[in-house]
Chain A
Amino acid sequence: MTMEEVENGRDDMLIDGIEPKQNQNIEIPEEFNANYLRAYYAKLFPYTDMFKWMSYGNDGRHPGCDQSYVGRREISFTLENDIYTRFLSFNSITELEKAIKEKCPFKIDIGAVYSVDPAKKDAYSQNAFTPVERELVFDIDISDYDDVRFCCSGANVCSQCWPLMTVAIKVIDTALRDDFGFNHILWVYSGRRGVHCWVCDGKARRLNNEQRAAITEYLHVYKGNENSNKKVSLMGPLHPFLARSYTEVLKDFFEEKFIYSQELFSNEERYEKILEMIPEESVTSELRGKWLDNKRSRDDVNMARWGHLKQLLQSGKHKAQGIRRCVEEIVLSFTYPRLDKEVSKHMNHLLKAPFCVHPKTGHVCIPIDPNHCEEFDPSAVPTLSKLLEELNRGGLRSEGEDELENTSLGKSIRYFRSSFLQPLLKSCKEEIESSYAAKTQQSKNTLSW
């Protein structure tokens, strides 16, 4: 990462000095710079909520609370000019707040909870220092879809391709809840090109690497690489999980939105990509013949051609192995969520914390409500400059908590608290109490011997 923006940054950031009525565009000219970030950390970053979350109820007074818990969590800061500082740890909210305000990290990553304080790891042998808990996390990047989107590439994203993320959230979220029985799931916009998912149930945090890998593989369908044509291969009929994802989410999305928004059949180069996935020569040549003469019809070309393809593949005329599943394979290849598997498989992977600010876009990494993920618009995400403007405008009127509430970040914080944090802490409390009760019961039993 290069931080050119920073160099052009203004030295003085007069948060309180700006007159509310001045033209805002002049006052907050950039999306991001270190001074803005400092102001964000001073006024807006939700320390209490983050720390509550990381404590998982262990900051309470109950005798079952593990007071060392939160201090064994690895936090990592990426400072200006890409200076990585790993294996930091914080025992209290004051320590965390102080360090963040002082260091002003461009990025904050959350790692695993280790067996011992990660900041003192060198004092222990390598075996004594191991990760013991970690949220089950997922990372989905739009740049991994470059071969199926034609509107943007790389880190860019627009309203044409973002819906790929929306369907990814729907598919994965449903599987995590219905199949695996997880309840405490947080989806977060990664600030630029994708989404992160944090599964925070106690059961999820205690999964070992093999079990994480099993879930990841269960959710993973896309097998394509740069040198193969077929990206999704189905051996037989769909597993109930895939069947549900296909019929409830992906098929409709593909047929009603995606083929139009990406104009998948509009020219030869694009439809050849799809024909490549059909292993039967006679089918592809028939379709090519049909499409080459380019007859104008009343229907949209994408709809018409997808119709031809489906009709031919599903007519039952072709009995060859591998043909029957072709329609499903094509839909899944284009729309099925593409996970960055390595992030999910290992406990010690870092993932960027929610409410960080992306240094390239100035976007705050806000939570996404999976029940309303269609409404999420990455271009409408609060940016650092917008938030500071709002602060400046409201600065004279309110103080403290209210300040945050009155900005456009308020809605995200409220969602984070009410839909994620409160239910999570409630179940953490119950878990701590019941495991403590079981433990005391057990020790009573041993005493009676």
Chain B
Amino acid sequence: MEIVRSQRKSSFPSSDIVVPTIPLYRSTPALEVRLEEFELYAVQRLRVLHGISDGLSRGKKPDEIQKLVKDLWKVNMMHPDASEVVNKDIISHFVLRLVYCREEELRKWFLSMETTLFCNRLQLETPEAQRALWDEFGLPYKAVSIAEYESVKDKLNQVARAIGQSSSSADTIFYKVPFEEVPDLVAKRKVFVQKGIAYVATNQVISILMTQYRSHLSKALALTYRKWNSMIREQEKDRLTPIVEALSTSYLGPDYSQPREYAELSLKDIDQVAKRSFPLCMRHLFEKLREDHHLKHGGRMQLGLFLKGVGLKLDDALAFWKAEFSRKVGADRFDKEYAYSIRHNYGKEGKRTDYTPYSCQKIISSTPGVGDHHGCPYRHFSLENLRVALAKMGVGGRALEEVIDKTQNRHYQLACTLTFEAVHGASCDAGVNHPNQYYIDSKRIMESKNNSKSP
């Protein structure tokens, strides 16, 4: 990809670039790109990816995500010149690869969002277009013969009913694919699996393509990262590097791993602060810890990192956890078994990574099991338990019903936002995206109330 400063419109015969399908972004395109477009396209694609990320964290259903992707794409990725649309797609993808290749967390996020985007765009395509991609990937899988179909028909129909589809007919084509190639279909039990072979129906072919795309992009990102480090960053230090670096910082959302405002939380205030300013998920963990003097691993991580993010110092954190745990397991066992992981969270052990507090998205998608108290209460509590918990926070009447309503429609973060508003008597325009943001917003409101009371 050539990046040029000139205002000259890149002049390509349009017949060359109109590809009737979604690009696989296999190699950097031989295009000239103006610097302004380089940045603009990237920002626009980023809006799409962030929109998807937001939709996923709100627990949207697949068909809602589908519509969301369609709309986001239309709003952001069109181009007045129809022939430029594909170029814009390709250019923006490659720019963001540069931006997001540089850290493990960023790569993961980009990979996951781009794959969701790819998969949803693919669903809007015709079967022929999907087939074309199948050919482009050169996939070797065989269709199930008619004779074989008869022998597994009952099972295939059973699967179809289990996932709420009408029974397959003889003219539905099934492909025999090693189960390793379609992990998402296996995980959701959407296919019949026998002796390691998954029977993938035509309308599930997307899953195979998605796996291919994902692994291709994952490798490409690792490669881009190496190139970025060894070459591009230095070569482009006056031109692209500043743009790339700015792009990543300004659109990543705040980093809550280091406490910034209201930077200290001391042990003597913690109970009071928990009551006033913790979101329900943390409040629940906090109370359970005080009650049971124990939390299982998922809960320790979720609460522990949150507390770190709101400014509980390592020494205080150790004291805090020890005070509770030692009542249950003894101080000795605490020192041996649990202290390590607390220091680990603060980057003092093991890989010495300073771990980031969990975002709402991560908490919502967690899967608490037996004995676990972590997760998002709006998502993981039964409605009765949620009502009780909300009442304890002082949410009642209409507000309570609205929260419950949002919960039932699986808008967990909106439910939490409404809770925030009910508790604080103030609006929360940005919505709740992160427990630490909830805390900071809450502290801010408490502060201003205090100030207005005592001028």
Interface residues of A (CB under 8 A from B): 1-2, 82, 126, 144-147, 178-182, 203, 207, 210-211, 213-215, 217-218, 222-230, 235-243, 338, 341
A178 pairs with B187, CB closer than 8 A: no
Question: Known interface pairs A181-B195, A228-B380, A239-B158. Does A223 touch B163 (Cβ–Cβ under 8 Å)?
Answer: no
* Interchain CB contact under 8 A, B158 and A228: no
Known: A82-B337, A210-B183. A241 touches B189 (CB 8 A): yes
Smallest distance from the beta carbon of B314 to chain A beta carbons, Å? Answer: 21
Is residue B175 contacting chain A, with contact meaning CB distance below 8 A? no
27 A-B residue pairs with CB within 8 Å: A2-B333, A126-B351, A178-B194, A180-B179, A203-B180, A207-B180, A213-B187, A214-B184, A214-B187, A215-B186, A217-B187, A218-B189, A218-B193, A222-B370, A225-B368, A226-B371, A227-B377, A227-B385, A228-B380, A235-B164, A236-B163, A237-B161, A239-B158, A239-B159, A240-B158, A240-B159, A241-B189
The listed residue (A180, A243, A341) touching B158 by CB distance below 8 A is A243
In the complex, what residue of chain A is closest to B155 when comparing beta carbons?
A240
Which listed residue (B162, B187, B336, B385) contacts A238, Cβ 8 A? B162
Contact B162 A237 (CB under 8 A): yes
- Residue from B155, B158, B369 whose CB has the most chain A CB atoms within 10 Å: B369
Minimum C-beta distance from A203 to chain B (A): 7
Question: Cβ of B162 and Cβ of A178 under 8 Å apart?
Answer: no
The residue that B380 contacts in the complex, of A147, A225, A238, with Cβ under 8 A, is A225
Residue among B162, B192, B336, B380 having the largest count of chain A Cβ atoms under 10 Å: B162
Residues of A within 8 A of B155 (CB): 240
Which residues of B lie under 8 Å from residue A341 when comparing CB positions?
A: 367, 369
Instruction: Please indicate the chain B residues that have their CB under 8 angstroms from the CB of A227 in the complex.
Output: 284, 373, 377, 380-382, 385
Q: Which residues of B does A touch, CB under 8 Å? A: 155, 158-159, 161-164, 179-180, 183-184, 186-189, 192-197, 284, 330, 332-333, 336-337, 351, 367-373, 375, 377, 380-382, 384-385
CB distance from A311 to the nearest CB of B (A): 25
Q: Are B196 and A180 in contact (CB under 8 A)?
A: yes
Cβ distance B142 to chain A, nearest Cβ, rounded Å: 17
- Give the dominant DSSP class at A's interface: loop
Residues from chain B with a CB closer than 8 A to the CB of A213 are: 183, 187
Residues of B within 8 A of A222 (CB): 369-370
Residues of A within 8 A of B369 (CB): 144, 222, 224-225, 338, 341
Extra pairs beyond A226-B372, A228-B380, A243-B158 (10, CB < 8 Å): A179-B195, A214-B187, A215-B186, A217-B186, A217-B187, A222-B369, A225-B375, A228-B382, A236-B164, A240-B155
Max chain A Cβ within 10 angstroms of own Cβ: one of B163, B183, B373, B381: B183
Residue among A82, A147, A218, A237 making CB contact with B370, cutoff 8 Å = A147
Shortest beta-carbon distance from A248 to chain B in Å: 15
A181 contact set on B, CB distance < 8 A: 194-197
Cβ contacts under 8 Å, B193 to chain A: 179-180, 218, 241
Within the assembled complex, what's the spacing in Å between the Cα atoms of A292 and B404? 33
User: Taking the nearest CB of chain B, how far is it from the CB of A183, in angstroms?
Assistant: 10
A239 vs B188: C-alpha distance in the bound complex, in angstroms? Answer: 10
CA distance A341 to B183 in the complex (A): 16
A240 to B155 CA separation, bound complex (whole angstroms): 6
Give A400 Cβ to nearest chain B Cβ, in Å: 39
